Chain A
């Protein structure tokens, strides 16, 4: 494989694909620099609503970095600089007048390792609604927590021990608690950064089912290093390599008939 062509930003203009549902996120020429490192190069992509979009690629390819641009989590890293344009519902999220906190309320996130707060299960889910003032009273809050846990498929397992610590749950349950926590503030978009990488296969299957169920209500973007997972849960897939979005399209098309040689090499296991 010719390595010299890699790393050069693709100069050709981006042609938006025809999406099955409405476009939720539009990214154009996004570049991310970590200090001197050019981590994301000219990424442009359209992400559909009510569908699952998977970002795949080898470690360090920038897929997580790009994901964290969508809810501006990269702002917390001082040396990180983002240029280009990302729009959610046609609103630029890097607009200085936009409050990043409100953005993150609309763009939920689930992290690689389950990270429940070391508080009760109830408090974990209730925290978001509380800081955003979504519940008018206790009953309201109870209802939000219950529905969120139900949507995350966790309610049956924990309904008798809502006061127990979130950290006392098993890994898979913890991750579903984190998903419940994310959907409790009823976001439009849920970002999932390798949500199953710390879980066993059974728990992974459970989460994947859940993602499929959630698809009807949310725009879900999932970063995964597992191509099988991407193939199982996503409708569209984007392949990242060395900070460049190499190829993006319908999941089936990417896996059966990739246009780019690098994509083919990756999904056939030649590198990764």
Chain B
């Protein structure tokens, strides 16, 4: 049916386009001479006139028909079935199986009637959608055709439609944000305040609890494992790894940027820049593999040679590799802000007899400081939100520790662990992942907004 609908639409559009274009063309040959708009625009307008109502009818009609057909099914069953979501699902599956001829066993009379009713309404409904859609489309087409004249501003109308489409596309960005906020906020709200949810923590338990154990003890024989949703160990774990990463990437990235923008010859830059770009382009899953299989064992072996006990999933390994990931990020952002420092400031310092490094340390870096700070903030936000490296190289156990040689877990690791695999949407455990997602989104958002404000103000200063 869908195919028929769109086939009809396509045929009508092609026909409408040519009819309208032809009619406009003939006007040009006749008296009056010049057209306001090219025949093409008349054709395009006709096509738009067809497409818009037909797509709208389809988009509204199809789910509506399905809804009607579904609700008709339950007229044949007692209300208690219709009111129980589980039974509803069973009935609907049976109906669809029966219609597909895949039903096993002998269907009950009620089921057979329901299926017949469903099929009837469904078919009629889809036909009605096709009819209404085509009728509205044709109506719009005739409206356009009747207005075609040498003064008809087809181009202007068509361009108005184009602008509307462009605006819709720009709105997708807003819709995405709304979608994100809606998904995380709603589930987070349920996590804290839904009374039907078993084992939900209070907000303060979540924010200040020092134990994290979402793997709910559902079976009796696991009796003494207590479910706990204390966020603190995840926070410290995330911050520890982030701290290590920034400790690595901060100086390396900043010095790289300084060298590239102030010292490097064009030839050196020509190969150093791609190296950093390649490093930035390495997928995090690859870095995670490297961290888990090469760096972590190496650190472990190195620790053992000093007699240190290093966890095989140490925070250090994940942090180091994450730091490497962030180097190009800090370097390119800092490079930008350092380059934005006006040459006149440098010239001023050189003219006073300062060496290059003195100029950099005393003039350029202080001038670029806001930009560098914002680069660091963006890098921190990046590190906090990074998932694959920590999933593969950091642990699962929520240890409350600041020892980089121990295993810690992070917010992203827990989100991934909870949500991968089977999940039922009504357990506190699943919703906890969304609460963590909310924290993550919120923290990175705040960091980004502040960083962008700083950068914007900084840019204005030197533009």
Contact = CB atoms under 8 A, between A and B. Distances in A.
Is A in direct contact with B (CB under 8 Å) within the complex? yes
Interface of A: 99, 101-102, 131-133
B36 A131 contact: no
A38 B28 CA distance: 44
Interface string B70-94: 0000000000000000000000000
Interface in B241-300: none
A131 B153 contact: no
B401 interface: no
Interface string B146-158: 0000000101100
B323 interface: no
Contact of B28 (A99, A101, A133): A133
Contacts of B35: 133
Interface residues of B, number: 9
A45 to B, nearest CB: 30
A99 B155 CA distance: 11
Interface string B32-57: 00111011000000000000000000
B228 to A, nearest CB: 57
A133 B39 contact: yes
The main secondary structure of chain B at its interface with chain A is loop
A101 B36 CA distance: 10
12 contacts: A99-B36, A99-B153, A99-B156, A101-B155, A102-B36, A131-B38, A132-B38, A133-B28, A133-B34, A133-B35, A133-B38, A133-B39
A102 B35 CA distance: 11
Nearest to B35: A133
Given A101-B155, A133-B34, 10 more contacts: A99-B36, A99-B153, A99-B156, A102-B36, A131-B38, A132-B38, A133-B28, A133-B35, A133-B38, A133-B39
Contacts of A131: 38
A247 B153 CA distance: 41
Contacts of A133: 28, 34-35, 38-39
A99 B36 CA distance: 9
Interface string B9-39: 0000000000000000000100000111011
Nearest to B24: A133
Nearest to A97: B153
Most buried by B among A99, A102, A132, A133: A133
Contacts of A99: 36, 153, 156
Nearest to A133: B38
Nearest to B153: A99
A101 B28 CA distance: 19
Contacts of A132: 38
A131 B35 CA distance: 11
Contacts of A102: 36
A24 to B, nearest CB: 20
Question: What are the 3 tightest A-B residue pairs by CB atom distance, in nearest-first order?
Answer: A133-B38, A133-B35, A99-B153
Contacts of B155: 101
A102 B155 CA distance: 12
Interface in B145-189: 153, 155-156
A133 B29 CA distance: 12
Contacts of A101: 155
Interface in B180-231: none
A146 to B, nearest CB: 22
A99 B154 CA distance: 12
